[in-house]
Amino acid sequence: MSENSPYIVAVGGTLRAGSSTEKAMRHVLAAAERAGARTMLLSGPALQLPMYQPENPERTDAARELVAQLALADGIIIGSPGYHGSISGLVKNALDYAEDLRADRRPYFSGRAVGCIATAGGWPGAVNTLSALRDIVHALRGWPTPLGAAINTSEKVFDAAGLCTEPKVAQMLDLIAAEVMAFAKMG
Q: Domain extents for the chain?
A: 7-186
Q: What is the sign of the dihedral through the CA atoms of 155, 95, 187 and 39?
A: negative
Task: Check whether 102 has a pLDDT greater than 80.
Answer: yes
At 83, the pLDDT band (50, 70, 90 cuts) reads: very high
pLDDT at 4: 84
pLDDT at 3: 75
Q: Which residues contact 131 (CB under 8 A, 6 or more apart)?
A: none
129-138: per-residue pLDDT in tens? Answer: 999 999 999 9
- How large is the average pLDDT for residues 96-125? 97
- For domain 7-186, which CATH number applies: 3.30.479.10, 3.40.50.300, 3.40.50.360, 3.40.50.720? 3.40.50.360
For strand 149-152 and strand 7-12, is the pairing parallel, antiparallel, or unpaired? unpaired
Q: Name which of 88, 104, 86 is nearest 47 in CA terms.
A: 88
At 1, the pLDDT band (50, 70, 90 cuts) reads: low
- How large is the average pLDDT for residues 46-65? 97
| Residues 8/38, Cβ–Cβ less than 8 Å | yes
2-32: per-residue pLDDT in tens? Answer: 678 999 999 999 999 899 999 999 999 999 9
| Residues 17/47, Cβ–Cβ less than 8 Å | no
β-bridge partners, 114: 76, 144
Q: 95 burial class (0-12, 13-18, 19+ CB within 10 angstroms)?
A: buried
Task: Check whether 181 has a pLDDT greater than 80.
Answer: yes
117-174: per-residue pLDDT in tens? Answer: 999 999 999 999 999 999 999 999 999 999 999 999 999 999 999 999 999 999 999 9
Rounded Cα distance between 181 and 118, Å, is 20
pLDDT at 152: 97
